[in-house]
Structure 1
Amino acid sequence: MEKKVLIFFLIVLVFCVAMYGLFGRVSVTLVMASADKSKPGVHFVYLGASETEGRGTEDRGTEGVTSRETLSCRLKNKVPFSTITRTLAPLQAHPMIKSLFPKQSLEDVVHYNSCAVVSSSHAMKFHNYGRDIDAHDAVVRFNCAPTKNYVTHVGRRTDIRLINTVIPYTSCQREFWDRRVKMFNNEIVVVRNFLNVRVGKHGKLDLRQDQHHSFGNYVKYRRTFPERTMHFIQRPNFGVDIKNELSHFCNGKTNCKTTESEKSPSTGAHGIVMMLHLCDWVYTYEFVPSAVDRNTSLAHYFDEETNFSWLYHSYNTERDYWRTLTVTSLEEVERTGVAVFRGLSQYNCT
């Protein structure tokens, strides 16, 4: 077995040297041991003009790399990731509820090499990324985004599902509560946390803005399905910290829409930042839109009726932020909709 691994590694090394000679700088992440359900393999990241020649768009090149590193370190330091565990101070007064929460935070349970963060964008119907997505060590989907009937476009695996607070309050009740439905069954489920679960001034649980009862539904879910132990809620203030970081970014941009500063970050933003903490490499699919689907206002690849809404979330600011952080050339993102990011663990920040 060790001999086979060595031969495989040498083949990869020779291939990388050849790729370097042909295309310039190529970053390789080699998966020698992978997460459950993943397929071991090699993921190649082409670091385009933004990482090498400094061509193409404003604030790229050397200045762009510096900006990306600075922003990444700010994100790493200002927006740490964790999930609520049974050690959270307000839970100590409620032992029956406390026992329903995990002993460990999610980042202490998993860390991946290469991750796919798959948007629910209608543009996904125009790509055949299924195999590429499934080849990653972890695949993240959002809310109740399906794979059935869309495998060619979005893949079949789901390792982590990040849901917003309206689930199951107004959406996906059957998928959430019916144990016969596979969705949520064998997945790590994470509830996004913007303002819904907070710690009050006196150290008590503050659920005043949890209008869709996400905390109560979490408790009910854990009692209904005690065997499903991989169910988490993002830490208090995680979404608020993302919003503050986006506002800081926006304040330094002359073309930023300051009206978005009052809006909350999208569930997608909660998911990308989470995975930047949990993965060495993060591949996002159609979060920074490609040019393939600009003739429609439809929102989702699985829905031909609902239009995209700009009303609630800071999408413009988020997209500018991702364009600054990605190591992929903006021309490539425009063409493919795939933006690659270095995980925050790869930045040595002071």
Structure 2
Amino acid sequence: MMFRRGIFFCGILLCGCITFYAILDMLLIASTFNSAKYLHKLKRELPCQLKRNVPFSTITREQASKDGNKTVLPEYSLENMVHFNSCAVVSSSHTLRFHTYGQEIDSHDAVLRFNCAPTDKFEKFVGNRTDFRLINTRIPEKSCTDEFWSDNSTMFKHETIIIRNLDAINLKRQTINVKHDRYRAFANLIKYRKTYPNRTLPFIQRPKFGHAILTELQRFCVTSRMCAKSRLSPSSGMLGVVMMMHLCDWVHVYELVPSNKDDTKLVYYFDEKKTWPARREHSYGQERAYVKTLSMTPENDIEESGVVLLKGLSQTPCV
């Protein structure tokens, strides 16, 4: 009898274990299903949230109509002047040296590059064309000084320059407010116009454009729990991606979200010495999580290629 009871007791335990693991499997399947369902919903809603929360424009002459230097500003905002089907956003990442995307990049309708990133001697990796160049306010005061001012330099000469704007250049009572313009970006813009009067007028992103992106990234991290909220400023790359999503139907982003090809600590494709500092200056973690969620490219493909395909905001119907 004791023996039989022992068998009966073990059977109950065994059934309990089987039931426990079956329930655990069911919960895991349900959790995976709910996670996939949530991600699908997030991917569907995020473009409209970006479109609504971060509108794009550039400072126009009319907005600064009472400023004595208003003539250095374009008459119209950039998004009212151009629109493209297919665009390339080319990061400055060292990982681009592990691909040969040159011809592919040049085949797009418009190509955006950043700061001082060259094409000469790197055409195989990054292409040759540059239609737009987004520069930070440290140029030319602290970097790219020779390239910016030299008439012999091909960089900047035949490109449309756009100055990224976190909070350096603002508007106040229809004049330009440079209270926070620590690197004299607007003063250099005036000098640039006087030095090269026949070149295309540079554009300045609207005031607080960068701050609007940071707020949107932080909102995304808090609500989705897919990244840690950061107060670090967004990179020029992120400002460029959002800008081109407003200007293009399709945006191909090269190595902003890195592939798994590069195991070095080098930063730029054109510099074999500069390595990543211990402390990062920008909110890369937030940016990558956000762009991957916007992406139409499967994550496994991004890890292999470093190329992200984004649908332009003009292609996104929002209520």
- Same fold, judged at TM 0.5 (above): yes
* Match 1:74 to one of 20, 42, 49: 49
Structure 1 partner of 2:269: 301
Amino acid at match of 2:222: N
Amino acid at match of 1:159: D
Q: 1:108: Cα distance to partner?
A: 1.1
Q: Is the 8 A contact 1:134 1:155 kept in 2?
A: yes
Structure 2 partner of 1:345: 314
Q: Give 1:145-224 correspondences, 5 Å limit.
A: 145-200=117-172, 205-224=176-195
Q: 1:230: Cα distance to partner?
A: 3.7
**Whole-angstrom distance in 2 between the partners of 1:224 and 1:86:** 20
Compared CA separation, residues 188 and 240, structure 1 to 2 (3 A): same
Compared CA separation, residues 58 and 195, structure 1 to 2 (3 A): farther
Compared CA separation, residues 161 and 209, structure 1 to 2 (3 A): same
Kindly, what percent of the aligned residue pairs are identical? 47
Amino acid at match of 2:89: V
Amino acid at match of 1:238: F
Structure 2 partner of 1:92: 65
**Whole-angstrom distance in 1 between the partners of 2:237 and 2:196:** 26
**What SS does the aligned partner of 1:306 have?**
coil
Compared CA separation, residues 205 and 101, structure 1 to 2 (3 A): closer
Q: 1:168: Cα distance to partner?
A: 0.4
Residue 241 (1) aligns with residue 212 (2): yes
Q: Is the 8 A contact 2:67 2:174 kept in 1?
A: no
The runs of 4+ residues in structure 1 deviating greater than 4 Å are 57-62
Q: 1:65: Cα distance to partner?
A: 3.6
Structure 1 partner of 2:93: 121
Q: Is the 8 A contact 1:116 1:285 kept in 2?
A: yes
- Max Rg structure: 2
C-alpha distance after superposition, 1:225-267 (max 9, x if no partner): 1111241110111111101101100111335223x2x211100
Aligned residues: 287
Structure 1 partner of 2:199: 228
**Whole-angstrom distance in 2 between the partners of 1:188 and 1:205:** 21
* Match 1:289 to one of 245, 250, 258: 258
**Whole-angstrom distance in 2 between the partners of 1:60 and 1:205:** 47
Q: Is the 8 A contact 2:134 2:164 kept in 1?
A: yes
**What SS does the aligned partner of 1:102 have?**
coil
Structure 2 partner of 1:110: 82
Q: 1:305: Cα distance to partner?
A: 1.0
Q: Which runs of 5+ in 1 are unaligned?
A: 1-56
**What SS does the aligned partner of 1:252 have?**
helix
- Greater shift, 319-328 or 306-315, is seen at 306-315
Give the TM-score taking structure 2 as reference length: 0.86
Q: Give 1:256-335 correspondences, 5 Å limit.
A: 256-258=227-229, 260=230, 262-293=231-262, 295-309=263-277, 310-335=279-304
Give the TM-score taking structure 1 as reference length: 0.79
